[in-house]
Amino acid sequence: MPRPARVPDQVLDLLRQGTRHAWTMEQIAAGLQQAGRQADFSSVYRAVERLLRDHCLERVALGDGTTQYELAGQHHDHVRCVRCQALAALDCLVHEPDLRAAERASGWSILAHRVVLDGLCPACRQHGGED
Ligand SMILES: [Zn+2]
Ligand SMILES: [Zn+2]
């Protein structure tokens, strides 16, 4: 086994280059391969799981059951392209008074939120939008 402990660092390096906002597991594996890394898919998978546990990465769960991964950081919300699945960050879309109103209306205590809007990214928008 060629030094599996270093795969998490390779994953972090790749994500810090910032060529995408968020990555699927497949995109991470492909990105490492392109960079000439030798990590196979299962070591990439284990590295991502490890980085999630260490709070270096966060999951972005999308409504269709798919997941992308991003560097952990300040809270933000997302917009996803319905055509190419690209994901972009948005400033938080939920305002504190709305959360408090939702708590009063529901009787629940709200701990966190994740908003993912559907949209068309600029590239897909240029290529004919809604067909
Ligand atoms: Zn994000
Ligand atoms: Zn938010």
Query: pLDDT per residue over 59-110, tens digit each?
Result: 998 878 889 999 999 999 999 999 998 999 999 999 999 999 999 999 999 9
Query: pLDDT per residue over 19-41, tens digit each?
Result: 999 999 999 999 999 988 888 99
Distance CA 89, CA 92 (A): 9
Do 47 and 8 touch, CB atoms closer than 8 A?
yes
Whose atoms come closest to the Cα of 114: which ligand? Answer: 2
Burial class (CB in 10 A: 0-12, 13-18, 19+), 24: middle
pLDDT for 38? 81
What is the value of pTM for the model shown? Answer: 0.83
Structural domains of the chain sorted by starting position, each given as residue range(s) with its CATH number in brackets: 1-73 (1.10.10.10), 75-131 (3.30.1490.190)
Per-chain residues with Cβ under 5 A from ion ligand 2: 77, 92, 94
At what angle are helices 25-34 and 7-16 packed, to 10 degrees? 90
- Measured in Å, residue 114 CA sits from the centre of ligand 2 at 6
- Measured in Å, residue 72 CA sits from the centre of ligand 2 at 14
